[in-house]
Structures are given as structure tokens and as C-alpha cells.
Amino acid sequence: MKHLSEIQISIESLLKNVRALKAICPDEADFIAVVKGNAYGHGLAPIVEVLEPVVDGFQIDDVEELQELRKHTSKRALVLGYVPCSALEEAVRLGGELAIYDVQRLPELQRIAEDLGVRPKLHLKLDALLGRQGLLPDDVPAFLHRLAEFPGLDVIALYGHFANIEDTTDLTHANAQVDIFNKVHSSLVSAGLSQLSRHLSATSGLMVYEPSVRGNNLVRVGVGLYGLYPSASLARTQARLELEPVMRWTSHLAQVKFLPAGHPVGYGLTFVTWRPTLIGIVPQGYSDGYDRGLSNAGEVLIHGKRCPIVGRIAMNMFAVDLTHAPEAKAEDEVVLLGDQGSDRITAEELAARLGTINYEVVTRVSPLLPRLLL
């Protein structure tokens, strides 16, 4: 046993997912791997190590992630989250392509361009019926007018984000977003930004939208890389892609013991044995990203058998009922997420128990747990 608990990353599954998603990607589009949020909890360093030869670039959220990314690759790096003015110079120095959606940062970016002798590459974020980060369409002309005052800046792309494309078969809103996006793009080209590239799609957009259109020359692929579908409906309609989960989360039993009938288990006395019960202690908890909401609700795999969690999940440990795995002993493997034997616990299963989405389940796994490429 090398590690008490670890996150195992399947290289084979990761590369298989890339091939499947590239197969539906427009030929002219750059394939950008989204590795923000510690590569959706999978570990930025190992994921970039595997993907670096097979993708055109990476997307992260902020300058701290850019600094980490640059330890592993010199490829394109799209920094599409918030970068404060104080961090802009570092982001430009590291070759980050930055989101821009206001005029406040333009003077500082111009100063940086002059000081460093480079032209910062900017992606103009359009808020097309999303109501989040971005420039509203009506504000684009004023932005362009101000942009003309800063000749050292290079706006290379217009981009947006779908608001509701993965959870519905009604694409009315998505089509309205695309119409606005196309009109703004055309106006920018007419204004002299003739080489402006464009991108709209994350994994869900790639699955639903991109295969039927042309014109976008970049896709930002995130959750699908990791073998997770953006929604249950897309898991059904896009099942032919056969995406495979990349993450397997394992630990080991720290203790095995019998508790007598009528014995409490864990904080709050939320579970009391009703018969003599074989109990196993798993040394993981909510500080590791294993959600407290799984208390008395989740299951783990031990010897290929489902063992229910009993009592509350604590910061560093929880208890399981080993009735279905009576042969279990201390240091046996416990699977919190992933497969063991013929069974598998999925991120979707945990998300359903927690009332959340698979993205959150994997992204919240502690970065302190070791990530191992297998």
C-alpha cells in the first residue's frame, strides 16, 4: 500500500474520451482542454502531462492556475476567469490569453504591452442572454470606440457560453444566443477585426450544437474529458460516445470491529446498531471532499460488495456496515468512487444522493490527496 488514500487517474480512459470528443469536433476548430478547478478535481499536473501532446491548448480560470499550468506546458493558455489588475502583468508575461469584458483594464493592459514589448491577446466575452460575466451586446460599440485608444492590444476572439443546452431538447434559448453572437461577431468584423476567431461551446455545446454548424474555430472541452456527461439527458442521447470515467477514489480500512446491539456510531448519535454489527472505519471525510451529506446515505465498495455508511461523516473518517463483506479486515481497499469487481459507484450516483451535479462531486475532492496516473 503506497498511499492510505489516493485518486487514481486512468490514462487509457482519458485518451479514449479525447478521441471520442475530437470525432465530433469541427475539423477547423482548435481543441482546448479545460483544466480549471484542478482539472475538475482530477489533478492539473497529471492531466496536463497526459493531454499535452494531443490537444491544442488549455483553459484555466485565474493567474494562479496559469502559474501552475506553465510548469507543465508552453501551449496556448486561455485564462477566462477574473484576473485583477494587480495580476495582469504576470498573466501576460506567462503568455495567458485573457478574457476582457470591460474598459477598466484597457489602460493597464496597454502599459503592460509597452513595458514588456508584447501584444496581450484578449478574448472579448459577450454576455448573450446568460447574465453572467461578459459585455452586453448594446455596449459593444462603446467598447470598440474605447479600444481604438489602445493600439498595443490584440483582441483575437469573441466568445460566449450557452445558458441552457444540456438540460433541454428545446433549443429556443440557445438559438437566440447564437443569433445575438453571430450579429455581434459580424459587427466586429465590419469594424475591422477581420481575423477575429469565435467560440461558444463547452462539452454540452460540442455534443448538441457544433456538429451541425460551421464558423466556430475553437471548442472548450471540460467535463467530457473526464468521462462525465453534462447531464442525464446527454448521457442518454450521446451514449454512442462511450465516455469513460477517469477518476477512481480509493482508501483502506483503518479498523474493523464488532459493535454490540444498541451501540451508537459517530457524532450526534444519528445511527444506533440494532444488532451486533461488524463495523469498518474509513479514514476519509469531508476535509477530503467526501461530502457530509452522504452520512447514513452513501455506500462504498469493499471486496466488490456495497457497504452502507452508518453514522455521520466526520472531518477525517466515517464508519461503514460490513455485514455484506464479513471477510473484510484492516487495510483492505475501499472504493469511494469508481469500480471494484463488477460494481461501480459513479459521480452521478453520489450527485443524486446529494442533490447536486457530477461536476461538484469530483471538483471538490481535496487537492492534497495524491493523484496517480495508471
Phi, psi of 171, rounded to the nearest 5 degrees: -95, 20
Q: What is the pLDDT of residues 318-355, one digit of tens each?
A: 999 999 999 999 999 999 999 999 999 999 999 999 99
Does the pLDDT of residue 214 top 80, yes or no?
no
Mean pLDDT of 51-65: 97
Percentages of the chain per state (helix, strand, coil), in multiples of 5: 35, 25, 40
Phi, psi of 364, rounded to the nearest 5 degrees: -85, 0
Could you say which DSSP state residue 204 is in?
H
Closest to 198 in 3D by CA, of 182, 181, 211, 217: 217
Residue 57's Cβ-count burial label (10 Å; 0-12, 13-18, 19+) is middle
Percent of the chain with pLDDT over 90: 83
The rounded distance, in Å, linking the Cα atoms of 110 and 69 is 25
pLDDT of residue 96: 97
Q: What is the pLDDT of residues 345-361, one digit of tens each?
A: 999 999 999 999 999 99
Contacts of 37-40 spanning 24+ positions with Cβ under 8 A: 37/61, 37/363, 38/363, 38/367, 39/226, 40/222, 40/223, 40/225, 40/226, 40/228, 40/359, 40/362, 40/363
pLDDT of residue 258: 97
Instruction: Place 137 in a pLDDT band, splitting at 50, 70 and 90.
Output: very high
Domains and CATH numbers, the chain: 11-241 (3.20.20.10), 247-345 (2.40.37.10)
Does the pLDDT of residue 116 top 70, yes or no?
yes
Q: What is the pLDDT of residues 284-304, one digit of tens each?
A: 999 999 999 999 999 999 999
**Average pLDDT of every residue of the chain:** 94
Q: What is the pLDDT of residues 29-52, one digit of tens each?
A: 999 999 999 999 999 999 999 999
pLDDT of residue 152: 93
- 192's torsion region: left (phi>0), alpha (psi -120 to 50) or beta? left
Do residues 366 and 5 touch, judged by C-beta distance below 8 A?
A: no
Phi, psi of 235, rounded to the nearest 5 degrees: -60, -30
Do residues 369 and 308 touch, judged by C-beta distance below 8 A?
A: no
- Of residues 336 and 175, the one with the higher pLDDT is 336
pLDDT of residue 361: 97
> Would you list the DSSP string of 116-179?
HT---EEEEEB-SSS-SSSB-GGGHHHHHHHHTT-TT-EEEEEE---SSSSS-S--HHHHHHHH
pLDDT of residue 190: 87
Does the pLDDT of residue 3 top 90, yes or no?
no
Instruction: Place 1 in a pLDDT band, splitting at 50, 70 and 90.
Output: low
Distance of CA 250 to the CA centre of its chain: 20
Do residues 42 and 247 touch, judged by C-beta distance below 8 A?
A: yes
Give this prediction's pTM: 0.94
Does the pLDDT of residue 176 top 70, yes or no?
yes
* Residues identified as active-site: 36, 267
Q: What is the pLDDT of residues 241-286, one digit of tens each?
A: 999 999 999 999 999 999 999 999 999 999 999 999 999 999 999 9
Distance of CA 215 to the CA centre of its chain: 26
Instruction: Place 126 in a pLDDT band, splitting at 50, 70 and 90.
Output: very high
β-pairing verdict for 218-221 and 30-34: parallel
